Amino acid sequence: MNPAAFYPSAVDYLRFLPELILTIGGVLLLVLEALTGDNKDKTSLGYVAIAVVLGAMFAVPVALANPGTSFNGMLVSDGFAAFFRMVTLLVGLFTLLCSTSYLSREKANSGEFYLLVLFSLAGQGIMAASNELIMVFLGLEIASISSYVLAGFLRDDKRGSEAALKYFLLGSFATAFLLYGISWIYGVTGATNLVAIRESLAAGTSGNSMAVAAAALMMIGLAFKVSAAPFQVWAPDVYQGAPAPVSGFLSAGPKAAAFAIFLRIFQTSFESFSSRYEPVLWILALATMLVGNFSALWQSNVKRMLAYSSIAHAGYVLVAVTTNSNVGTAAAMFYLAAYALMNFGAFAAITHLAGRGESHVTIDDLKGLASKQPVMAGLLTVCLLSLTGVPLTAGFFGKFYIFKAAIDNHLYWLSALGLLNSAIAAYYYLRVLSAMYMHDSKTTDHPEPVPGGIQLTMWVSAAGILTLGVFPGLVLDYANRFATFVK
């Protein structure tokens, strides 16, 4: 190999700039955390982290302006990667905005939280931009290990610790499946680069059934990560037990990044036998929608309900993945962006309303919210209506594009069943709405003022939802342009 090509050039780093900023920022925070005294207020570290995320967001267009692969084809900077980097960074920004006040409320104000978020974001960025399986694995692990700790960040909370342990055990199990699949693929094709795998499989020189088995193993690992049925059992417990802003983070950020690699791997490397795995995805998508929606119907805990709803939404995105087309990929991209806004908006509201120790998280606790805090209730309503899929919200166009892609690809039954599912989903979102608007409050105490970070998050997500509900082209045109992969 030519040594000059082996050493990374400056442009390689530019293509990697967002993750670079996040990593350096994370390490910086680590030092700052050690330098500030134990009993000091650590909120300012949160602001540093916010600044780092904003810096990474500005670095995304820089990376996009230098398209191509870097570090010998390990990472790729394309529009697809930039899109998912932006989505995960947005989720990270929301998480940080909501958690500064949350952590002081829960008396768990330490700097580690912020740097873990940054490291997790760096991992997700690597997932979005990875062009080969080792990077996929690395990104996934960086993102996941930080998330495990975040889930159990409130050490004294039993549920949180249980959530973290469960998340860690099942997550590692899933990663093992993925890694096993990667090793098989390497055995069959001798490559870990996505394009090289594709070429090797297309040339037909390698054992095809082995490759199919490897793809199946990897699909299982990824299905765990996106919480697709029947690999979804961890999600409700984790989202319920984790601190509310972390639940919002987990349900939107790592999930979007996992879908990014799902799409990239299956549409780049394994495209040649798409007809083999399409029926599997079909069943996976339907099962995920059914399990998510039907389980959510019975929940009285809002966090747990949103957890099941996030499973159902993963099902909708899987419908888009099943189409195995550029239109479907664009629809999935749009949906995940819309989902990040609406789901995080809902979790932001819960973060505040749950109160100290997250003791008020049942639907009953939301009774009478509309008269006590009309603005908060209104913003949450926008998020919930969007999750329901009512027109003029981003959620409607998300579903619309997904099912349009499905029908374009002749998946009529899946579309009909999926859309009927979303009518079922209306029921449990309406339960929250009716609690807020149609019941009187149980208590008469004055509501606590909403922290600025949470207010900002909710306003931004509600505004985003309504804007995308009227002008979906703002995001969709971009998604359509970049829904193709380097092959």
> Binding to another protein by residue 173, rule CB under 8 A?
no
Number of H helices and number of E strands within the chain?
21, 2
The C-alpha atoms of residue 311 and residue 285 are separated, in whole angstroms, by 10
**Beta partners for residue 68, in sequence order:** 77
> Binding to another protein by residue 385, rule CB under 8 A?
yes
Q: Pick the piece of the chain touching another protein (CB under 8 A) from 5-13, 199-207, 419-427, 443-451.
A: 419-427
CB of 260 to another protein, least distance (A): 22
The answer to whether 243 touches 167, Cβ cutoff 8 Å, is no
37: Cα separation from own chain's centroid: 34
Contact letters for another protein, residues 350-379 (x by CB under 8 A): ---------------------x--------
Determine whether 430 is exposed, middle or buried from the number of CB atoms within 10 Å of its CB (0-12, 13-18, 19+).
middle
Q: Tell me the C-alpha to C-alpha distance, in Å, between residue 399 and each of 332, 378, 392, 395, 414.
A: 9, 22, 12, 6, 13
Q: Pick the piece of the chain touching another protein (CB under 8 A) from 49-57, 137-145, 253-261, 429-437.
A: 429-437
Name the token pair of 321.
């993945």
Q: Number of residues in contact with another protein, rule: CB under 8 A?
A: 34
Q: Pick the piece of the chain touching another protein (CB under 8 A) from 97-105, 252-260, 392-400, 448-456.
A: 392-400
- Provide the angle, in degrees to the nearest 10, between the axes of the packed helices 244-268 and 234-241: 140
The answer to whether 48 touches 113, Cβ cutoff 8 Å, is no
> Binding to another protein by residue 398, rule CB under 8 A?
no
Q: Pick the piece of the chain touching another protein (CB under 8 A) from 139-147, 207-215, 235-243, 424-432.
A: 424-432
Look at residue 70 and give its three-state secondary structure: strand
Judged by beta carbon, residue 28 or residue 392, the one nearer another protein is 392
237: Cα separation from own chain's centroid: 17
> Binding to another protein by residue 404, rule CB under 8 A?
yes
Judged by beta carbon, residue 203 or residue 438, the one nearer another protein is 438
**Beta partners for residue 69, in sequence order:** 76
The C-alpha atoms of residue 43 and residue 46 are separated, in whole angstroms, by 5
> Binding to another protein by residue 298, rule CB under 8 A?
no
The C-alpha atoms of residue 115 and residue 30 are separated, in whole angstroms, by 7
> Binding to another protein by residue 392, rule CB under 8 A?
yes
Q: Pick the piece of the chain touching another protein (CB under 8 A) from 26-34, 108-116, 189-197, 433-441.
A: 433-441
Token look-up 């609690």 returns 435
> Binding to another protein by residue 466, rule CB under 8 A?
no
> Binding to another protein by residue 477, rule CB under 8 A?
yes
Contacting residue, 423, 448, 452, 463, with another protein by CB under 8 A: 423
Name the token pair of 390.
């009512």
> Binding to another protein by residue 438, rule CB under 8 A?
yes
Judged by beta carbon, residue 58 or residue 298, the one nearer another protein is 298
Residue closest to 301 by CA, chosen among 387, 233, 382, 240:
240
Contacting residue, 279, 355, 357, 391, with another protein by CB under 8 A: 391
Judged by beta carbon, residue 194 or residue 331, the one nearer another protein is 331
> Binding to another protein by residue 7, rule CB under 8 A?
no
Contacting residue, 419, 450, 458, 460, with another protein by CB under 8 A: 419
Contacting residue, 124, 415, 455, 461, with another protein by CB under 8 A: 415
Judged by beta carbon, residue 159 or residue 404, the one nearer another protein is 404
CB of 395 to another protein, least distance (A): 12
Determine whether 486 is exposed, middle or buried from the number of CB atoms within 10 Å of its CB (0-12, 13-18, 19+).
middle
Token look-up 């979005």 returns 128
> Binding to another protein by residue 300, rule CB under 8 A?
no
CB of 442 to another protein, least distance (A): 16
**Which residues have C-beta within 8 Å of that of residue 350, sequence separation ≥ 6?**
244, 248, 302, 303, 306, 361
Judged by beta carbon, residue 45 or residue 433, the one nearer another protein is 433
The C-alpha atoms of residue 465 and residue 87 are separated, in whole angstroms, by 14
CB of 390 to another protein, least distance (A): 6
The C-alpha atoms of residue 419 and residue 369 are separated, in whole angstroms, by 30
Judged by beta carbon, residue 61 or residue 374, the one nearer another protein is 374
CB of 424 to another protein, least distance (A): 8
CB of 31 to another protein, least distance (A): 48
CB of 454 to another protein, least distance (A): 22
Judged by beta carbon, residue 47 or residue 412, the one nearer another protein is 412
**Which residues have C-beta within 8 Å of that of residue 288, sequence separation ≥ 6?**
227, 228, 229, 232, 311, 312, 314, 315, 318
The C-alpha atoms of residue 289 and residue 275 are separated, in whole angstroms, by 22
Q: List residues binding another protein (CB under 8 A).
A: 371, 385, 390-392, 396, 400, 403-404, 407-408, 412, 415-416, 419-420, 422-424, 426-427, 430-431, 433-434, 437-439, 471-473, 476-477, 480
